[in-house]
Structure 1
């Protein structure tokens, strides 16, 4: 079984689709700790912004793939830190992804997501929502998530 519990799929034998997430995820039956990860962006604790390049005129070039990879790495580090290294990104059971522009950014976000979660059997339940704006103009993706880690 995956460290984030058991995937529930209405048709488990159906081929993998373009997106990788089950219809639901059953939390493991064990002694565990639930971690509720606040909305997380690409910004690092040192103040750097992966996926954000500032031009000479002060504008920003924003890369959805680099930002998504950084967001997922930040979440992995948060879970590892909160569990003394016992858990990580693969303990996610639920996630909500917020993107600014579904038409131009969803595919790139999903490509990075699928690099981390190779199959829907190991991926958390997920919703992806297009939003008008995020808290900082350098942000084009934010993820809020829940993880379950055995203690």
Structure 2
């Protein structure tokens, strides 16, 4: 095992991409609780489809912040479930950083979807939302990095 914890990959047989990172890291490997550090996650699904992305005839994209945010949170749920052997999910997230391209246009829509998953402050993780100039793919308008804690015993 690596000194920085156990790597989690939802599809470990898939070839590595240009960037080398696990979808999550689990630490400590032996404890009654596991802390799961989820890498920045986008709206792309494991099958390669992109939620909230419509490709136009001219090659541009129409991007939907609500659909993308819902897909991002669903992807994080699947990553935490996979990394915890099904014992946790998105509701185990204790801290998150949301990266968003256009705060004026998209913050409210992102927050609406966020609030569907976390309906009150008692259930919501600590969160920072940061406006960024660009994200790694032109189909992305939101990305979320998260930390979850899951009881495994």
TM-score by length of 2: 0.79
1:95-124 CA-partner distances (Å, limit 9, x unpaired): 000000100000000000000001110000
Measured after TM superposition, the shift of residue 61 of structure 1 is 0.1
Per the alignment, residue 66 of structure 2 pairs with 65
**Is 1:146 paired with 2:147?**
yes
Q: Which residue of 2 aligns with 1:99?
A: 100
1:53-78 deviations in Å (ceiling 9; x for gaps): 00111110000000000000000000
Distance 1:91 1:34 in 2: 10
Match for residue 114 of structure 1?
115
Note the residue ranges of structure 1 that are not aligned, 5 or more in a row: 1-29
Question: SS of the counterpart of 1:135?
Answer: coil
Gaps of 5+ in 2: 1-30
Question: Aligned-residue CA RMSD in angstroms?
Answer: 0.9
SS at match of 1:69: helix
**TM-superposed deviation, 1:31:** 2.3
Aligned to 1:8: none
Q: Give the corresponding residue for 2:28.
A: none
Alignment of 1:20-39 (within 5 A): 31-39=32-40
Structure 1: how far apart are the matches of 2:32 and 2:60?
49
2: CA distance between counterparts of 1:135 and 1:124? 25
In structure 1, distance between residues paired with 2:58 and 2:70? 26
Give the SS at the match of 1:121: coil
